[in-house]
């Protein structure tokens, strides 16, 4: 280690600043000896502390093995603040955890109190190669290029350039495998006037009177049952899924259309307008709907507007009412495209 500068200054610093960037640097400070460095009794104490931790750890680990064999697997005990737990699991877990913890704690204590703690300065050197080495590399490169004859062999040069310029073409053509362009398919869903709202798992029609304030139901259009082809059915379900929430009508600040709720029951698309994750994390107190993917948050009491997160567009609302028997029905389809904003393009 050579020290041709102030011992207390990091290498590359002079008078408290980095010589290249001019940024202030902190001096290293005087080396402080620890108690155990100067007092043999303190060193002995630290040694005993470390040994005790390792010793107790060994006992705990053995205890864990014995508990595993001895403590009945059907015995339950009451642990304060935890409640009823399996005695075997509790004893094995506690002893094993403590054993591992004490090995770590002992090692840290050992390193901090007894192992050498010298401050070491490792001087940096320039990473740039010597000028002769750089000149040599440039020379090798030029010689290599000359040896290929690319300068004189025009036909090879041209055909190579032609091949390289066509290289991206197959990759572009293979984009076709991503499927047909969506066209307007993603703008339309199978919701329409008079279509009943049904629960998404059991396809049961939903009565307005079954919903209390704060109730959230995942729903789909009843005519989804008519889409028999499996892939088509999945596509339509993906676009048409909605969530229904009953709010206190007095809490509704705005809606996307006049009277689009039914007595405080509002229906919104379930597909996040950011990149399309399905959402049903609803907070009743704030009326916020939270997308678990990137935390976009929509206010269902205020037209489904974005209140937080990367979504650039509100959640589309589905206008609803009830039929003669009190079952919820749509009064039309969505008035704006559901799903990620990307699909609105073009």
Q: Which residues would be at the binding site for ligand FES (CB under 6 A)?
A: 272, 274-277, 291, 293-294, 296, 309-311
What DSSP state is assigned to residue 331? S
DSSP states of 207-235: BGGGPPTT-EEEEEEGGGGG--SHHHHHH
Select 274 or 287, whichever has its Cβ closest to ligand FES: 274
Which region, left, alpha or beta, applies to residue 234 given φ > 0 means left and ψ of -120 to 50 means alpha? alpha
Write the burial class of residue 300 (CB in 10 Å: 0-12 exposed, 13-18 middle, 19+ buried). buried
Quote the least distance from Cβ 268 to ligand FES, whole Å: 13
Select 265 or 291, whichever has its Cβ closest to ligand FES: 291
Quote the least distance from Cβ 297 to ligand FES, whole Å: 9
Select 10 or 309, whichever has its Cβ closest to ligand FES: 309
Contact present, 305 and 298 (Cβ < 8 Å): yes
Select 198 or 279, whichever has its Cβ closest to ligand FES: 279
Report the DSSP beta bridge partners of residue 254: 302
Select 239 or 274, whichever has its Cβ closest to ligand FES: 274
Quote the least distance from Cβ 18 to ligand FES, whole Å: 43
What DSSP state is assigned to residue 302? B
Select 190 or 272, whichever has its Cβ closest to ligand FES: 272
For CA atoms 228, 233, 236, 241, the dihedral sign is positive
Quote the least distance from Cβ 22 to ligand FES, whole Å: 43
Quote the least distance from Cβ 294 to ligand FES, whole Å: 3
Which region, left, alpha or beta, applies to residue 230 given φ > 0 means left and ψ of -120 to 50 means alpha? alpha
Contact present, 267 and 219 (Cβ < 8 Å): yes
Select 316 or 319, whichever has its Cβ closest to ligand FES: 316
Quote the least distance from Cβ 53 to ligand FES, whole Å: 48
Select 18 or 344, whichever has its Cβ closest to ligand FES: 344
d(CA 282, CA 149): 69
Quote the least distance from Cβ 173 to ligand FES, whole Å: 30
Select 220 or 290, whichever has its Cβ closest to ligand FES: 290
Quote the least distance from Cβ 340 to ligand FES, whole Å: 7
Write out the E strands in the chain.
13-14, 17-18, 76-79, 83-86, 197-199, 216-221, 242-246, 265-269, 281-283, 288-290, 297-299, 305-308, 317-318, 320-322, 328-330
- Residue whose tokens read 């939903």: 206
- Residue 322, CA distances (Å) to 193, 259, 261, 309, 326 in order: 11, 12, 10, 34, 5
Max alpha carbon distance in the chain (Å)? 94
Quote the least distance from Cβ 337 to ligand FES, whole Å: 15
- Residue whose tokens read 């060994």: 58
């Amino acid at each position: 280690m050579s020290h041709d500068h102030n011992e207390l200054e990091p290498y590359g610093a002079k008078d408290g600043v980095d010589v290249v960037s001019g940024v202030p640097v902190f001096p290293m400070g005087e080396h402080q000896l620890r108690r155990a460095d100067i007092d043999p009794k303190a060193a002995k104490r630290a040694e005993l502390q470390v040994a005790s931790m390792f010793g107790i750890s060994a006992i705990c680990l053995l205890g864990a093995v014995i508990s595993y064999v001895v403590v009945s697997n059907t015995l339950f005990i009451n642990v304060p603040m935890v409640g009823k737990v399996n005695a075997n699991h509790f004893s094995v877990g506690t002893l094993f955890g403590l054993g591992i913890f004490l090995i770590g704690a002992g090692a840290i204590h050992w390193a901090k109190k007894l192992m050498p703690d010298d401050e070491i300065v490792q001087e940096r050197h320039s990473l740039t190669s010597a000028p002769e080495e750089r000149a040599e590399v440039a020379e090798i490169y030029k010689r290599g290029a000359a040896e290929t004859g690319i300068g004189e062999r025009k036909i090879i040069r041209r055909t190579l350039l032609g091949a390289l310029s066509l290289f991206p073409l197959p990759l572009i053509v293979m984009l076709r495998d991503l499927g047909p362009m969506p066209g307007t398919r993603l703008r339309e869903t199978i919701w329409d006037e008079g279509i009943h709202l049904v629960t998404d798992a059991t396809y049961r029609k939903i009565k307005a009177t079954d919903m209390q304030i704060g109730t959230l139901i995942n729903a789909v259009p009843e005519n989804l049952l008519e889409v028999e082809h499996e892939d088509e059915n999945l596509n339509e379900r993906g676009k048409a899924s909605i969530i229904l929430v009953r709010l206190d009508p007095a809490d509704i600040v705005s809606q996307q259309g006049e009277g689009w709720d039914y007595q405080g029951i509002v229906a919104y698309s379930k597909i996040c307008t950011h990149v399309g994750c399905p959402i049903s994390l609803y907070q009743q107190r704030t009326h916020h709907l939270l997308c678990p993917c990137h935390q976009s948050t929509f206010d269902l009491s205020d037209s489904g507007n974005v209140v937080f997160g990367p979504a650039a567009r509100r959640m589309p609302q589905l206008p609803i009412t009830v039929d003669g028997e009190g079952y919820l029905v749509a009064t039309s389809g969505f008035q704006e495209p559901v799903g990620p904003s990307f699909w609105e393009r073009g």
